[in-house]
Structure 1
Amino acid sequence: MSSGTIRRVAIVGAASQIGQALLPCLEAAAIEAVLIGRRAVPEAPMPVHRFDDAHRTFEPSLSKVDAVISLAPLPVIGRVLDMAEALGARRVIAFGSTGRFSKVDSSSEIERDFVAQQTQAEHLFATRSQSAGIAWTLFRPTMIYGADLDLNVAFIRAVVRRAGFFPLLRGARGLRQPVHIGDLATACVAALASERSLNRAYDLGGGEVLAFPELVRRIFESERKRPVLVPVPRFAYSVIVALASRLPRYRFIRPQMVDRMCDDLIADNADAARDFGYRPRRFEPGAAVGKER
């Protein structure tokens, strides 16, 4: 498909954090967006179309689109491809995660299952798309931030606001490369206009690599607070995590997250820069959706 033919795009999962930034980006590029999902999107006063799996139809009805951008979890990619075929789309962009690599050797069964699901979904995405004559592009972001809906930067910010300090595992110097939702949205639009991105997967990080303590300090500064990082030995930190994970709000916390404070979780943006001009911003924890760089 010629990149110049992309005029109408269906977004699956527009209520997600990336969706908040993607809709304005598509509008700025003069690309019409239609929404597929289960609930309304407050930022977008337009109908949300529900997909009927059995009949492969939409309610309200939906006509042909040029491409589909899926912001839904990658394991549902089979259903997304059903939608794409029903709409006659010849292009699909979907999002996975660099956690598909960083959690391979995790001691957590939950995380190993995550890796297995991601790996299987990536394979299905590529093979089924090719069989159907659909051009595919996969994005694997690093630590996403920008809408205060993530479990990394937003979580650290919440601790900073409530406690005024942040407990840091002693010796934790793992590198991080947070990527803003605005840059991921821009990447979608740029990839739609680039034939070099067809049938390719890209790891996408932000424009700056920081050691974990520096990332936390930046978040303090964005809150106009003096950084207070309290070094905590591993055993004590494990106790803190075990206690916190019993609370409904923090059930997502696992001991393996503590270990990864010492790991480098970064991406090489070179391929994306070459193929569709990817140039993400430096880490700006206070940057809201749509904020100018």
Structure 2
Amino acid sequence: MLALVTGGAGVVGKALCRELMAQNVCVRVLTLPGDTLASSLPKEVEVFYGDVTKPETMRAAFDGVDVVYHLAAILLSTKAGAFDFVNFQGTKNVVDAALEAKVKRFLYVSSISVTYPILTAYGQSKLKGESYVKAAGEHGLRWTIVRPTLVIGDGGGIEYNMFAAYVKRFPVYFLPGGGKSLKRPVRSVDLVKGIVAAGLSEYTRGKTYALAGSTPISMAQMAKKILAAAGKRHLMIPIPWWIARRVAVLKSWIGGRPVTAEQALAGFLYDAVPEIDSARRDLGYNPGNPFA
């Protein structure tokens, strides 16, 4: 069996490649031309260079592929239309290429942020991607969708690393709403096992799974654990939402230039504690607690 992993040179992508190879699956990666991270992939991985926003550059990567794991996306941007261009249009191009190559299975890595009551531009782009993947089922695409939560471990996810850097940076830090929103962060090692299982099983066709960790934790509790691990004792000051929305500098402290204020604050506003019973049942998914 041959699996194509788009965006496979990233943190989760590389871990996914290792897990696939551990299950005796041959792996091919599609990554951007000039991506230096590709050099750190296992030597057994076949690397194709192409851009998901430019269909003509990537079609060859789909030849002979049995299953596509579509990870390629952008998480951070302040450029108007960037999320739609890469995350939706790019997904559309990958789906179309898979259909043209008659790929048997398609696994789309979405985001738990598509479940937020009010979607950011990022969440909107991932939800549109989900819709296109599902619609392709009418043309024979055997799809599965997974929605990861906050990723921790193996280098960490971008969002978690940004939050950890923020709470460690200043002796006093502010949390919108007092950091009461709840999360179920997932260890990267558990996440990739769930992703691989979802893509290889025929039983998961036409289904969507949340891939979260075992234990809910508030943002405030998470901050305390991050600081304890770093040997720091910083003071948290809660701030009301109406102030958080108006203090532009908070965006810079939390995320920096690549992040809009809307996206920086969304993670503090909404809970992300999905049920994982269906993933446990169908995938044998048994995640641990990243902070245990």
The TM-score, its normalising length taken from structure 2, stands at 0.79
After superposition, the CA RMSD in angstroms is: 2.9
Aligned to 2:67: 67
- Give the % identical residues: 22
Aligned to 2:78: none
Residue 128 of structure 2 aligns to which amino acid in structure 1?
A: Q
Give CA deviations for 1:75-103 in whole Å, capped at 9, x if unaligned. Answer: 1222112332354420010111121121x
Aligned to 1:26: 20
Q: Report whether the alignment pairs 1:16 with 2:10.
A: yes
- What CA distance in whole angstroms lies between the structure 2 residues aligned with 1:84 and 1:181? 26
Q: Which runs of 5+ in 2 are unaligned?
A: 74-86
1:123-272 aligned within 5 A: 123-131=131-139, 133-148=140-155, 150-169=157-176, 171-226=178-233, 228-234=235-241, 237-238=244-245, 240=247, 242-245=248-251, 249-254=256-261, 257-258=264-265, 261-272=268-279
Give CA deviations for 1:35-84 in whole Å, capped at 9, x if unaligned. Answer: 112235132145521357348742xx774121111111341222112332
Residue 16 of structure 1 aligns to which amino acid in structure 2?
A: G
Aligned to 1:53: 55
Residue 92 of structure 1 aligns to which amino acid in structure 2?
A: F
Rate the CA distance shift 1:251–1:10 in 2: closer, same or farther, 3 A. closer
- What CA distance in whole angstroms lies between the structure 1 residues aligned with 2:217 and 2:256? 27
- What CA distance in whole angstroms lies between the structure 1 residues aligned with 2:215 and 2:223? 14
Aligned to 1:3: none
Give CA deviations for 1:198-235 in whole Å, capped at 9, x if unaligned. Answer: 11111221111012211111111222333532334556
Report the 3-state secondary structure (helix = DSSP H, G, I; strand = E; otherwise coil) of the residue aligned with 2:125: helix
Q: Which runs of 5+ in 1 are unaligned?
A: 1-6, 286-293
Aligned to 1:82: 96
1:34-45 aligned within 5 A: 34-38=28-32, 39-40=35-36, 41-44=38-41, 45=43
1:105 to 111, 118, 136: 118
Q: By how many angstroms is 1:119 displaced?
A: 3.1
Rate the CA distance shift 1:174–1:274 in 2: closer, same or farther, 3 A. same
- What CA distance in whole angstroms lies between the structure 1 residues aligned with 2:161 and 2:211? 19
- What CA distance in whole angstroms lies between the structure 2 residues aligned with 1:118 and 1:19? 18
- What CA distance in whole angstroms lies between the structure 1 residues aligned with 2:242 and 2:196? 46
